[in-house]
A and B are shown apart, each in its own frame.
Chain A
Amino acid sequence: MLSRTASTLYWMSRYVERAENTARILDVAYRMSLLTKDPDLQDQEWFAPLNITGTLFPFSGRHAIVNCKEVLHFMALDTDNPSSIYNCAKQARENARAVRGTITSEMWEVLNATWLEMQNMDEDRLYARGISAFFEWVKERSHLFRGVTFGTIRRDEAFQFHRLGTYMERADNTARMLDVKYHVLLPSVEDVGGAVDYYQWSAVLRSVSAFEAYRKVYRDIITPLKVAELLVLRDDVPRSLHFCYQDIYEILKKVQNRYSLEATRQAGEIYASLQFGTIQNIFSAGLHEYLTDFLEASNTLGNEIHQAFFAPSLPAAA
């Protein structure tokens, strides 16, 4: 497969996944802000989405205050923010258009229709539709795309690079979300069991569709340690780091070439640490430190994947 095609597929899925994650993050922030009556505290909630996506800096360069309206617009609709849901839908569609011969026509039709609808979205329409209803729509389109993909595409290299993009983006998102939320929530740990704390942590779980999983796995009150364990180390929760890396490692073994040994090794190393790690060890060394290291390793792996598959211009062996 052409490197450009593989790269386009990989980015197509990253954009779809990013749109979904952004919708989840904003949805949680919105629900949390509704829990507090104090307007200042309400606005505080809107720092989290910016921190998680690492866009506080570009945001504050153009906006004086952080509040619901501004952040929502910036992250959902802003045509100048490359990571806005609007631009993710656009990029996903553009990438799909460039590889139309490789993906199935059903996959193309989902992304094309999503973009056509997104194109007509503005602030008035978003509020008229309802904020949560909009996020639901974004998630549904992503679910639909995933289902259509699984139901129609041949299990070839194209499928592998599509999945690779999805899991790389998802792992990155889960780690960031956990890091930021943990950091924000930490001061209130003495409050364990308090009502607000419960809502905060359950919101984190809901943002990755893991609330019900938590209940089933632990049958216990929600504690930060167990939330982190669920989202980092469990191998059966589809948004956990362990789950993502299990697939990333498997995919890299399947598509390996003579330039990708280092990428496979790095993925294997991360996978091993998730497979054999314990949450007690992670907490004693510091969750924040652990997640920072993880994000860095994940980023390095991303570059390595790029070098190995998307830009192989190395001389052919003579």
Chain B
Amino acid sequence: MAIKSLFNEMYEHGGAVRPHYGAFADWLHNTAPEKIKQNREAADLLFHRVGITFAVYGEATGTERLIPFDIVPHIIPAAQWDVVSRGLKQRVAALNAFLHDVYHEQAILRAGKVPADKVIENSQFRPEMIGIDVPGGIYAHIAGIDLVKDGDGEYYVLEDNLRTPSGVSYLLENRRMMMRLFPELFAAQRVRPVDHYPDLLLDTLRNAAPVGVDSPTIVLMTPGNFNSAYFEHAFLAQQMGIELVEGVDLFVQDDTVFMRTTQGPQKVDVIYRRIDDDFIDPEAFRADSMLGVPGLMRAYRAGRVSLANAVGTGVGDDKSMYPYVPAMIRFYLGEEPILKNVHTYMLDNKDDLAYVLEHLHELVVKEAQGSGGYGMLVGPTASKDERERYRQRILDAPERFIAQPTLSLSVCPTFVDKGLAPRHIDLRPYVLSGKSVNFVPGGLTRVALREGSLVVNSSQGGGVKDTWIVD
């Protein structure tokens, strides 16, 4: 397979520094390596002390690890970001319209733009939501849209995350750390600020309150302190000044949700839940869930409490739905998609399946319902053995997989053991939908620290970088 050329975020093909990296390159050139080394160590120490850790599944219980932080920022020129941000607004608006539609008129299915069976038979489609009106018609209040840049320097959407996207606390902490360690960098140029994210989020959640509730009580619901993202849950609750609750703290009476406080039961109006649909209410979904609140769905369907995100958003971000997002944008908004989709092979289609089995060595194959980078095959880097085993899995249940060409993913200089070296990155902006669509400029940049690796997930050895939008 022909190696496509890589897009380097900092350097042009000839080796010249791209203009928007100019100020940073000057700084790098003029700063003693010892000082940079010292600051990199200081960053590690600070992250440890503050306890910005995540739990790793599959390791001994309670294992807490640090996400490696790299000090070379991912810089994006403002003009380029403005195009991307329009694309994000457009995409999330279409996805919200789609979610409203599939739980109401189902116009897009009747028009044949999205295959009805793929929606209705999808395990993430929640019949309980049919005909239910959610405040403002918003389903995905918080969306994480994963973007990558291919060799041509153009952005592609890799996937949409409409359930409980995580990582935004790293976005905030990365910036805080950079400003603390290298204030001179921020004096040298204008970097658009991001630290108002908790305010925007709180505002979005307020807007999600049931009709008629003026000053809603908002809580953040976590599965508990053994969840991999618990640090983030605690962090966001603290930043917004709202209670961090677990299922046991809530109960439902007369279709109203209350939290148990030392001053007695207190009514709850909006729940920012960081727990999957399956687990939120043992009466409605998985009966064995110890994390949920019995009766929550009753209260929700009665419109007495709002959930962010809404129940049933999973049908919009499922990988089998992804290929149809451009069609959704055209159908609901009458516009051409601003952000490109990656070409996707659906393995329940005979021709696609045959092609994919022939070209496993050059494709990326994913489970339609997987997340976190678990259970995917990166053809070009997998061993022959791994590919054969994966082939067997595909043949057992082709409809559970999708495949995409291996993108070359842009690289950004990153500090590794032997010094600065290019490593692959992606970008996850967080899009907030309420009365209006809001986000902080940029997003979370994840970096695959292993040489050549395309997997940026923190659970798979990925690190993070600060992301700068510069004017």
| Interface of A toward B, CB cutoff 8 Å | 1-4, 6, 97-98, 100-101, 105, 108, 157, 161, 255, 257-259, 309, 311-316
Contacts and interface: CB of A to CB of B under 8 A. Distances in A.
B245 to A, nearest CB: 6
Per DSSP, chain A at the interface is loop
Contacts of B259: 2
A258 B234 contact: no
B225 interface: yes
Contacts of A97: 225
B246 interface: yes
Given A4-B249, A100-B234, A101-B237, A313 B225 contact: no
B455 interface: no
Contacts of B51: 100, 105, 108
B265 A314 contact: yes
B383 interface: no
A312 B265 contact: yes
B238 A316 contact: no
B234 A2 contact: no
A4 B263 contact: no
B419 interface: no
Pick from A157, A258, A311, A312 the residue with the most CB of B within 10 Å.
A312
A3 B237 contact: no
B244 interface: yes
A1 B262 contact: yes
Contacts of B237: 101
Given A97-B225, A313-B251, A3 B260 contact: yes
Given A100-B51, A313-B251, A316-B267, A2 B260 contact: yes
The 8 closest A-B pairs by CB, nearest first: A3-B260, A316-B265, A101-B234, A309-B262, A257-B263, A6-B262, A101-B238, A1-B262
Nearest to B50: A105
A1 B245 CA distance: 11
A108 B50 CA distance: 11
B265 A4 contact: no
B244 A101 contact: yes
Interface string B439-450: 000000000000
A259 B259 CA distance: 16
Contacts of B249: 2-4
Nearest to A6: B262
B133 interface: no
A315 B49 CA distance: 42
A154 to B, nearest CB: 14
A259 B50 CA distance: 38
Contacts of B399: none
A110 to B, nearest CB: 14
29 contacts: A1-B261, A2-B259, A2-B260, A2-B261, A2-B262, A3-B261, A3-B262, A4-B246, A4-B248, A6-B262, A98-B225, A100-B234, A101-B234, A101-B237, A101-B238, A157-B262, A161-B262, A257-B263, A309-B262, A312-B261, A313-B251, A313-B260, A313-B265, A314-B264, A314-B265, A315-B253, A316-B258, A316-B264, A316-B267
A257 B266 CA distance: 13
A306 to B, nearest CB: 12
Pick from B244, B258, B267 the residue with the most CB of A within 10 Å.
B244
Interface in B13-53: 49-51
A314 B246 CA distance: 18
A285 to B, nearest CB: 37
A61 B49 CA distance: 43
Contact of A4 (B234, B253, B260): B260
Contact of A312 (B225, B243, B264, B267): B264
Contacts of B264: 257-259, 312, 314, 316
Contacts of B251: 313
A3 B263 CA distance: 8
B64 to A, nearest CB: 10
Contacts of B245: 2
Given A2-B259, A105-B49, 18 more contacts: A2-B243, A2-B260, A3-B249, A3-B262, A100-B51, A100-B234, A101-B234, A161-B262, A257-B262, A257-B263, A311-B260, A312-B260, A312-B261, A313-B265, A314-B264, A315-B265, A316-B264, A316-B265
A113 to B, nearest CB: 12
A38 B237 CA distance: 62
Contacts of A258: 264
Contacts of B50: 105
Contacts of A101: 234, 237-238, 244
Contacts of A257: 262-264
Nearest to A318: B254
Nearest to A257: B263
Nearest to B234: A101
A100 B222 CA distance: 14
A38 B31 CA distance: 74
A187 B246 CA distance: 54
Nearest to B231: A100
Pick from B245, B246, B248, B260 the residue with the most CB of A within 10 Å.
B260
A153 B361 CA distance: 59
Nearest to B235: A101
Contacts of A4: 246, 248-249, 260
A1 B243 CA distance: 8
A88 B108 CA distance: 60
B230 to A, nearest CB: 9
Contacts of A100: 51, 234
A18 to B, nearest CB: 22
A98 B238 CA distance: 14
Interface in B93-123: none
A246 B261 CA distance: 25
A313 B251 CA distance: 8
B265 A255 contact: no
A243 B51 CA distance: 38
